């Protein structure tokens, strides 16, 4: 469902007569929600814009052509190479291999990342 909103946004931009910047600002939180939790509040919107730009290419458009912000992610980033199911599966397998102390650290880090309530600095030191 998350990426469907971005696909809908692209269709509206491609075929509708709308103020694209205004539409982006109005629905940016919804369009970026999952990516903000997955990455950060700074890079999440950039990932969303990069995906939107890829979808716009299908219609012969780009962020520049529709006068929307430009994504500033590294050019070597390829969103289609991220296999979420595989990553989740590997994460679960690795979690099963951890001892209790390691599981506590993982739980604390993930909690800090996904709750996203305040900026945090986490330093992990290991051998």
pLDDT in tens, the chain (127 residues): 568 899 999 999 988 888 999 999 999 999 988 888 888 888 888 888 988 988 898 889 989 889 887 666 555 455 555 666 677 788 889 989 999 988 888 888 877 767 766 667 777 776 5
Cα separation, 116 vs 118, in Å, equals: 6
Give pLDDT, residue 38. Answer: 81
User: Which helix H or strand E contains 5, and what residues bound it?
Assistant: helix 2-15
Left if phi > 0, otherwise alpha if psi is -120 to 50, otherwise beta: which for 116?
Answer: left
Cα separation, 48 vs 55, in Å, equals: 11
Distances (CA, A) of 93 to 48, 70, 100, 108, 126: 29, 38, 15, 18, 20
Rounded to 5°, the CA angle 78-80-84 comes to 115
**Token pair belonging to 23:** 């539409």
- pTM, 2 dp: 0.56
- What count of Cα atoms within 13 Å lies in the side-chain half-sphere of residue 48? 32
């Amino acid at each position: 469902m998350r990426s469907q909103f971005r696909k809908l946004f692209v269709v509206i931009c491609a075929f509708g007569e709308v103020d694209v910047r205004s539409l982006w600002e109005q629905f940016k939180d919804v369009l970026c929600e999952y990516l903000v939790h997955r990455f950060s509040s700074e890079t999440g919107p950039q990932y969303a814009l990069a995906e939107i730009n890829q979808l716009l290419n299908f219609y012969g458009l780009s962020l520049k052509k529709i006068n929307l912000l430009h994504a500033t992610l590294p050019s070597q980033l390829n969103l289609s190479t991220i296999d979420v199911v595989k990553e989740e599966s590997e994460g679960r397998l690795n979690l099963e291999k951890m001892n209790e102390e390691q599981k506590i650290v993982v739980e604390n880090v993930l909690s800090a990342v996904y709750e996203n309530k305040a900026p945090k600095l986490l330093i992990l030191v290991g051998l």
